[in-house]
């Protein structure tokens, strides 16, 4: 039924529309909107009425509902946001309510409707004083729902009418709504499939229960003021401050009137309410109010004796606490420490209250500097990292426990601020603690030998200590230069990965799932919060994967715009990379192999690693703090180049040239080699082909003849390879069947003496590769 009423009074006009009359209803809607307040009957009367129906007029109950009105005198936008916060899905679930079928904004407040799966019929004989039990139950459910909202106590009765969406709330024409603007009522949400049984709702609140719960407490008899009170009798600094100065000196705008003057009545009301909540007796409260404290100024010019006025205010505070209270003694005690409004309710939009709530809930928030993650402790079922469900649970706990629900934006801002006030680096903390507990016994130089079963060599001793020190330095000094990869070699199933996982201390600080070739953003997500990254099973790497690893290892920081991020993130490297393989030939060519440190392992003693792990890191942290280098000593470069060369996977070029050249020595012009390999033109050779040729020649014992890599033949400078002391030039001849053979030409190069100069054979291992990387970037 539709009912139209003039905002200034007059006789209402009602009209019922059936489904078949939908077109007629739409046609009449403009006239219903013509400066008329138009409503619909939520529950249907038996017949068309030209007035608001009463309970006894109803024939069918089809919905349970609640009407939430804004606070008078408060900004409309602010009140709308408050009502939104009170009616979110999470907030309703926290109150034990199902999700509504319809949400309507009436132009002032908000209506929530829950459509019943089975409509309830009201018999014709029913009267307001005599209703069937099922009707009383529906009425009680509405009363219970209304009691769960601060502004819904009297808005539950089943005979109410509601503002029709699509029509205007003509507030400007209503003399009872001064200053309120006209507003259009609208449907905010509707899901007609949501229909509920009465069992889906909280237990009904019947009228007798409501009256009992709202019954005012008996007023105390006037007590004599306790003149011996001191500020120490007040339990909070806030109360002491107000009592001493007669205002809140930390917020001078608190309790201010429109003209800026202090509203002394509100200040006194707050003080007495606080006394009641915190168990301060009437005698002591009156002792402050009527004594020599600053709060006594509230009694000046009140037109009645100060003691009578003070007692009246005490009684009003008792009534206010009883009415708004309906709180258990435990809940009242829990409010201690919150900033409250004049009614004693914790202020929702207060970061101080949010922080106090966290403390009283026993929740600790902190920022993990190592993982760049927000962490939470003390919230059952959540942690260590906070996510959306954890944040929602924590915000709703503030409402259910303390009776205030801050906006999501303010809540999230405070969460981040609290966490940033408690920054920690748990991995650095672990290293610092291990350093203090190191027993002074040296183990690190022999870690690969004694714990991983490696051969006892100067190279393995150096590599072992460097890797551990580099891990500590990367945590303490993110982004420091370190691009080597220790590779453990053994048969499969020898606990290589297990050893690294144990050494990482915490499973969250280790990963063996690095997606090579993935986008930087994806890689950053994987290595977030990790200080050991294992490249497992390097066997069979394709050339592209080798290049990807070499490129990835050389970076000192990663940068990308993360998902949902506004700005590009710059993250200095906090991790080291290690590898494992069960193969002996896994390096593709010599270019870039200096980054790999191969170590053949034997028995990996997992029990010993577990037992001594903290001592190993303690020694590494101590030596890192002393400034020890994490670079391989130049005296070991040759040893490193040797073991790296032994792991190079020779391809068909090696085999072909080995069969062709054999053990011969002398000088070979590079262009002659390209002819043999079927690539006589420069355009036929790419970077990879040039690197493969250079690596193959080195493995066969050939190297550049000098720093420039070139010699003169007949006055022309040609790029060459040289081997041994033979002065002859080796050339290649092709027979009519296309087969190549070696021809030794006795005429030496014009400047053969240059061979005795410094060539790449004389450079230490990594320097050879660096030099040849540069050379082979051009012509091999």
Confidence of residue 68 (pLDDT cuts 50, 70, 90): confident
Predicted pLDDT at 561: 52
CA distance 477 to 469: 12
Question: Could you read off the pLDDT of 266-305 as tens digits, one per residue?
Answer: 888 899 988 888 888 888 999 998 888 999 887 766 566 7
Q: Map residue 572 onto helix, strand or coil.
A: strand
Long-range pairs of 120-126 with CB within 8 A, sequence gap ≥ 24: 120/60, 120/61, 120/62, 121/59, 121/60, 121/61, 122/55, 122/58, 122/59, 122/60, 122/61, 124/46, 124/59, 126/55, 126/56
Both tokens of 49, joined, read: 């009425």
Of 424, 451, 485, the residue at which a domain comes to its end is 424
Instruction: Examine residue 343 and state whether it is found in any structural domain, yes or no.
Output: no
Phi, psi (rounded to 5 degrees) for 592: 85, 0
* Percent of all residues in the chain with a pLDDT value above 90, rounded to a whole number: 21
Of 334, 367, 385, the residue at which a domain comes to its end is 334
Same domain for 83 and 208 = yes
Task: Summarize the chain as % helix, strand, coil (round to 5).
Answer: 40, 15, 40
CA distance 359 to 125: 57
Predicted pLDDT at 426: 92
Instruction: Examine residue 699 and state whether it is found in any structural domain, yes or no.
Output: yes
Closest CA to 701 of 717, 676, 732, 723: 723
R_g of the chain, CA atoms, integer Å: 42
CA distance 33 to 39: 11
Among the ranges given (75-79, 345-349, 404-408, 617-621), the one the predictor scored with the smallest mean pLDDT: 75-79
Confidence of residue 754 (pLDDT cuts 50, 70, 90): very low
Predicted pLDDT at 605: 94
Predicted pLDDT at 215: 42
Question: Could you read off the pLDDT of 521-568 as tens digits, one per residue?
Answer: 667 677 788 899 988 766 555 555 566 676 666 676 665 554 444 545
Predicted pLDDT at 757: 40
Confidence of residue 217 (pLDDT cuts 50, 70, 90): very low
User: Can you tell me the mean pLDDT for 114-143?
Assistant: 78
Same domain for 506 and 410 = no
Both tokens of 557, joined, read: 């920081």
CA distance 371 to 399: 31
Query: Would you say residue 356 has pLDDT above 70?
Result: yes
- In the block, residue with structure tokens 């001594």: 612
- Residue 292, sorted as left (phi over 0), alpha (psi -120 to 50) or beta, turns out to be alpha
User: Can you tell me the mean pLDDT for 403-420?
Assistant: 90
Query: Would you say residue 463 has pLDDT above 80?
Result: yes
Residue numbers of the domain that contains 656 = 650-776
CA distance 490 to 492: 6
Contacts of 388 (CB under 8 A, 6+ apart): none
Confidence of residue 763 (pLDDT cuts 50, 70, 90): very low
Question: Could you read off the pLDDT of 505-515 as tens digits, one per residue?
Answer: 998 899 887 76
Predicted pLDDT at 716: 86
E-assigned strand segments in 9-57: 13-15, 37-41, 44-45
Instruction: Examine residue 432 and state whether it is found in any structural domain, yes or no.
Output: no
CA distance 232 to 243: 11
Both tokens of 323, joined, read: 């009415």
Same domain for 594 and 470 = yes
Strand order, beta sheet including 13-15: 13-15, 2-5, 37-41, 161-163
Instruction: Examine residue 347 and state whether it is found in any structural domain, yes or no.
Output: no
How many domains does the chain fold into?
5
Among the ranges given (217-226, 234-243, 710-719), the one the predictor scored with the smallest mean pLDDT: 217-226
CATH number at residue 612: 3.40.50
Same domain for 741 and 691 = yes
CA distance 143 to 209: 10
Question: Could you read off the pLDDT of 225-262 as tens digits, one per residue?
Answer: 888 899 988 988 889 999 999 998 888 888 888 777 88
Predicted pLDDT at 491: 80
How many of the other CB atoms lie within 10 Å of CB of 184? 14
Same domain for 654 and 518 = no
Confidence of residue 776 (pLDDT cuts 50, 70, 90): very low
C-beta of residue 269 within 8 angstroms of C-beta of residue 313 = yes
Same domain for 534 and 659 = no
Predicted pLDDT at 622: 96
Predicted pLDDT at 33: 60
Contacts of 481 (CB under 8 A, 6+ apart): 556
Predicted pLDDT at 765: 39
Query: Would you say residue 157 has pLDDT above 80?
Result: no
Q: What mean pLDDT is reported for the chain?
A: 79
CA distance 426 to 772: 43
CA distance 46 to 49: 9
Cα atoms found within 13 Å of the Cα of residue 513, Cβ hemisphere only:
11
How many of the other CB atoms lie within 10 Å of CB of 176? 7
Query: Would you say residue 322 has pLDDT above 80?
Result: no
Query: Would you say residue 517 has pLDDT above 80?
Result: no
Contacts of 121 (CB under 8 A, 6+ apart): 59, 60, 61
Instruction: Examine residue 224 and state whether it is found in any structural domain, yes or no.
Output: no
Same domain for 195 and 96 = yes
Q: Map residue 561 onto helix, strand or coil.
A: coil
User: Can you tell me the mean pLDDT for 604-633?
Assistant: 95
Predicted pLDDT at 557: 67
CA distance 353 to 91: 18
C-beta of residue 104 within 8 angstroms of C-beta of residue 110 = yes
667 against 76, higher pLDDT = 667
Query: Would you say residue 475 has pLDDT above 80?
Result: yes
Same domain for 654 and 621 = no
Query: Would you say residue 775 has pLDDT above 50?
Result: no
Written as one string, the DSSP assignment of 158-197 is: TT-EEEPTTSEE-GGG-TTSTTPPPEE-EEEEE-TT-EE-
Instruction: Examine residue 340 and state whether it is found in any structural domain, yes or no.
Output: no
Same domain for 157 and 28 = yes
Instruction: Examine residue 719 and state whether it is found in any structural domain, yes or no.
Output: yes
Instruction: Examine residue 762 and state whether it is found in any structural domain, yes or no.
Output: yes
483 against 31, higher pLDDT = 483
Question: Could you read off the pLDDT of 83-111 as tens digits, one per residue?
Answer: 888 888 888 887 788 899 999 887 778 88
Confidence of residue 599 (pLDDT cuts 50, 70, 90): very high
Question: Could you read off the pLDDT of 132-152 as tens digits, one per residue?
Answer: 777 778 888 888 888 787 655
Confidence of residue 626 (pLDDT cuts 50, 70, 90): very high
Query: Would you say residue 619 has pLDDT above 90?
Result: yes
User: Can you tell me the mean pLDDT for 701-711?
Assistant: 86
Closest CA to 411 of 331, 353, 335: 353
Strand order, beta sheet including 716-723: 710-713, 716-723, 666-669, 729-734, 740-745
Same domain for 654 and 715 = yes
C-beta of residue 588 within 8 angstroms of C-beta of residue 548 = no
Predicted pLDDT at 541: 54
Among the ranges given (32-41, 207-216, 340-349), the one the predictor scored with the smallest mean pLDDT: 207-216
Q: Map residue 733 onto helix, strand or coil.
A: strand
Phi, psi (rounded to 5 degrees) for 368: -85, 100
Query: Would you say residue 7 has pLDDT above 90?
Result: no
Same domain for 529 and 391 = no
Predicted pLDDT at 54: 77
CA distance 314 to 273: 8
Query: Would you say residue 486 has pLDDT above 90?
Result: yes
Predicted pLDDT at 302: 59
Contacts of 428 (CB under 8 A, 6+ apart): 369, 370, 475, 476
Q: Map residue 580 onto helix, strand or coil.
A: strand
For residue 667, list its beta bridge partners: 722, 729
Confidence of residue 516 (pLDDT cuts 50, 70, 90): low
Predicted pLDDT at 664: 87
Query: Would you say residue 219 has pLDDT above 80?
Result: no
- Nearest-5° Cα angle at 60, 57 to 66: 90
CA distance 145 to 201: 8
CATH number at residue 149: 3.30.70.1790
User: Greatest CA separation found in the chain?
Assistant: 131
Of 299, 334, 369, the residue at which a domain comes to its end is 334
Same domain for 655 and 640 = no
């Amino acid at each position: 039924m539709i009912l139209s009423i003039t905002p200034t009074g007059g006789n209402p006009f009602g009209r019922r529309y059936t489904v078949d009359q939908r077109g007629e209803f739409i046609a009449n809607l403009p006239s219903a909107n013509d400066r008329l307040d138009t409503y619909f009957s939520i529950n249907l009367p038996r017949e068309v009425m030209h007035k608001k129906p009463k309970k006894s007029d109803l024939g069918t109950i089809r919905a349970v509902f609640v009407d939430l009105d804004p606070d008078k005198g408060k900004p409309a936008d602010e009140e709308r946001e408050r009502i939104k916060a009170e009616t979110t899905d999470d907030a309703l679930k926290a109150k034990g309510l199902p999700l509504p079928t319809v949400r309507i904004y009436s132009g002032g407040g908000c209506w929530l409707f829950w459509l019943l799966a089975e409509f309830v019929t009201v018999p014709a004989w029913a009267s307001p004083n005599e209703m069937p039990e099922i009707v009383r139950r529906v009425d009680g459910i509405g009363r219970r729902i209304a009691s769960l909202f601060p502004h819904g106590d009297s808005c539950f009765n089943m005979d109410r009418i509601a503002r029709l969406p699509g029509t205007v709330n003509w507030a400007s024409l209503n003399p009872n709504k001064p200053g309120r603007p006209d507003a259009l009522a609208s449907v905010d949400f509707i899901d007609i499939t949501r229909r509920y049984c009465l069992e889906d709702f909280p237990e009904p609140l019947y009228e007798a229960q409501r009256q009992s719960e709202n019954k005012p407490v008996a007023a105390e008899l006037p007590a004599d003021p306790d003149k011996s009170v001191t500020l120490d009798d007040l339990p909070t600094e806030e109360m002491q401050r107000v009592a001493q100065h007669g205002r809140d000196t930390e917020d001078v705008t608190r309790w201010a009137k429109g003209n800026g003057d202090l509203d002394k009545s509100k200040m006194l009301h707050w003080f007495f309410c606080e006394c009641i909540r915190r168990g301060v007796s009437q005698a002591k409260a009156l002792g402050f109010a009527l004594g020599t404290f600053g709060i006594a100024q509230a009694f000046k010019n009140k037109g009645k004796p100060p003691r009578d006025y003070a007692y009246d205010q005490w009684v009003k505070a008792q009534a206010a606490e009883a009415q708004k209270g309906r709180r258990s003694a435990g809940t009242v005690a829990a409010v201690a420490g919150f900033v409250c409004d004049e009614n004693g309710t914790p202020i929702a939009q207060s970061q101080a209250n949010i922080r106090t709530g966290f403390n009283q809930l026993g929740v600790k928030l902190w920022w993990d500097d190592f993982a760049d993650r927000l962490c939470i402790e003390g919230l059952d079922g959540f942690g260590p990292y906070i996510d959306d469900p954890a944040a929602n649970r924590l915000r709703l706990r503030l409402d259910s426990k303390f009776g205030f629900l801050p906006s999501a934006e303010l809540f999230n801002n405070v969460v981040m601020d609290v966490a940033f006030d408690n920054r920690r680096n748990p991995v650095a903390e672990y290293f610092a603690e291990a350093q203090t507990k190191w027993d002074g016994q040296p183990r690190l130089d022999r870690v690969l030998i004694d714990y991983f079963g490696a051969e006892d060599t100067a190279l393995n001793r150096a590599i072992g200590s460097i890797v551990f020190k580099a891990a500590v330095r990367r945590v303490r000094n993110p982004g420091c230069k370190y691009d080597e990869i220790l590779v453990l070699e053994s048969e499969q199933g020898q606990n290589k990965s297990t050893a690294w996982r144990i050494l990482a201390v915490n499973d969250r600080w280790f990963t063996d799932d690095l997606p090579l070739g993935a986008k930087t953003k994806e890689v950053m997500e994987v290595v977030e919060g990790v200080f050991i990254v294992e490249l497992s099973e390097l066997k069979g790497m394709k050339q592209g994967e080798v290049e990807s690893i070499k490129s990835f290892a050389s970076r000192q920081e990663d940068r990308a715009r993360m998902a949902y991020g506004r700005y590009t993130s710059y993250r200095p490297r906090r991790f080291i990379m290690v590898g494992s393989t069960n193969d002996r030939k896994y390096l593709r060519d010599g270019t870039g192999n200096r980054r790999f440190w191969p170590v053949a392992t034997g028995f990996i003693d997992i029990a010993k690693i577990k037992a001594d792990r903290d001592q190993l890191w303690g020694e590494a942290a101590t030596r890192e703090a002393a400034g020890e280098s994490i670079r391989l000593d130049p005296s070991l470069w040759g040893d490193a180049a040797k073991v790296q060369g032994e792991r190079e996977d020779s391809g068909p070029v090696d085999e072909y040239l080995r069969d062709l050249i054999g053990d011969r020595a002398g000088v070979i012009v590079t262009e002659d080699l390209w002819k043999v390999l079927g690539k006589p033109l420069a355009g036929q050779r790419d970077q990879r082909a040039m690197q493969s040729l250079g690596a193959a020649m080195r493995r066969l014992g050939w190297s550049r003849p000098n720093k420039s890599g070139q010699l003169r033949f007949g006055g022309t400078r040609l790029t060459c390879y040289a081997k041994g002391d033979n002065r002859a030039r080796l050339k290649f001849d092709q027979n009519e069947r296309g087969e190549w053979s070696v021809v030794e030409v006795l005429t030496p190069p014009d400047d053969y003496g240059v061979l005795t100069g410094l060539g790449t054979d004389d450079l230490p291992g990594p320097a050879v590769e660096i030099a040849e990387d540069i050379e082979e970037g051009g012509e091999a």
